Amino acid sequence: MAPAEPLTNTILYLDGVSVSFDGFRAINNLSLTLDKGEMRAIIGPNGAGKTTMMDLITGKTRPDKGEIYFDGAHDLTRYDEAEIANLGIGRKFQKPTVFECHTVEDNIALSLKGPRGAFRTIFDRRSASEPSRIDEILAIIRLTDRRDELAANLSHGQKQWLEIGMLLAQEPKLLLIDEPVAGMTDAETEETARLLRDIATRHSVIVVEHDMHFVRELGVKVTCLHEGSVLAEGSIDHVSQDPRVIEVYLGR
């Protein structure tokens, strides 16, 4: 059972989580909590354990020790990827991953929340509410006029937005977004910041990002990871003035 009282307003709770690969401690006694409706930016140098942390939350990797609870009662270490996705955690990969051979619309349609039995999809027909849901999401990610285009023909930035749209279609409670602006132009980066701030009004979000300018634009609480545990936490100004943070980013 999850510790009941302190978690009432917590969507994600990691306590003392460690995991090693071949003797290398990727995550080392990591503790982190995220409130419902909160957006958090995670920063940290390469190898700080940011992506491994996402793997732990989404069930791709199992922790050696420690607890991970989602939405109060769900012990995430007991579920696999598909089950965790259906509990309400959406994950965007570092490299934009969409279904390139499908249209933008089909990408969203395949992601819409609904029964996930494989067999029944053979006879599945689109439900009445689907088109309006798809319209809504396409409007949010600003791809309405490209709905019939193959996802392969989208630009890099548009693929990132499409993938975020696919997460929204899942109607998750928590979104994990890994480096959304890597390889984007300045205009696309700004657009993405707007999109994420908009999403954060209705969802809990964790954004992993390298780009400090973008993190500043999000204007949210920042957690800096280093060697698999939390180095500093607070506002972007507070964290970026922390001498230890400056050292891991610039020093050595």
CB-count burial class (<10 Å; 0-12, 13-18, 19+) for 119: exposed
Minimum separation from the CB atom of position 126 to another protein (A): 8
- Ordered strands of the 24-35 beta sheet: 24-35, 10-21, 65-70, 74-75
Specify the pairing of strand 65-70 against strand 10-21.
Answer: antiparallel
Specify the pairing of strand 39-43 against strand 204-208.
Answer: parallel
Residue among 99 and 249 whose Cβ is closer to another protein: 99
CA distance 241 to 231: 13
Minimum separation from the CB atom of position 10 to another protein (A): 23
Residue among 19 and 54 whose Cβ is closer to another protein: 54
Minimum separation from the CB atom of position 106 to another protein (A): 6
Question: Helix 156-169 vs helix 186-200: angle between axes, to the nearest 10 degrees?
Answer: 10
Residue among 91 and 226 whose Cβ is closer to another protein: 91
Residue among 32 and 175 whose Cβ is closer to another protein: 175
Residue among 58 and 189 whose Cβ is closer to another protein: 58
Alpha-carbon dihedral 124, 130, 131, 132, rounded to 10 degrees: 170
Minimum separation from the CB atom of position 181 to another protein (A): 19
Minimum separation from the CB atom of position 93 to another protein (A): 7
Residue among 61 and 97 whose Cβ is closer to another protein: 97
Cβ pair 162, 109 in contact under 8 A? no
Alpha-carbon dihedral 127, 130, 158, 182, rounded to 10 degrees: -90
Cα distances (Å, whole numbers) of residue 85 to 42, 90, 165, 184: 21, 6, 15, 27
Minimum separation from the CB atom of position 224 to another protein (A): 26
Which residues are at the interface with another protein (CB under 8 A)?
A: 58, 81-82, 85-86, 90-91, 93, 97-103, 106, 109-111, 116-119, 121-125, 150, 152, 163, 166, 170
Residue among 73 and 110 whose Cβ is closer to another protein: 110
Minimum separation from the CB atom of position 212 to another protein (A): 27
Give residue 238's identity as a one-letter amino acid code. H
Contacts of 175 (CB under 8 A, 6+ apart): 89, 90, 91, 92, 164, 167, 168, 199, 203, 204, 205, 206
Cβ pair 108, 98 in contact under 8 A? no
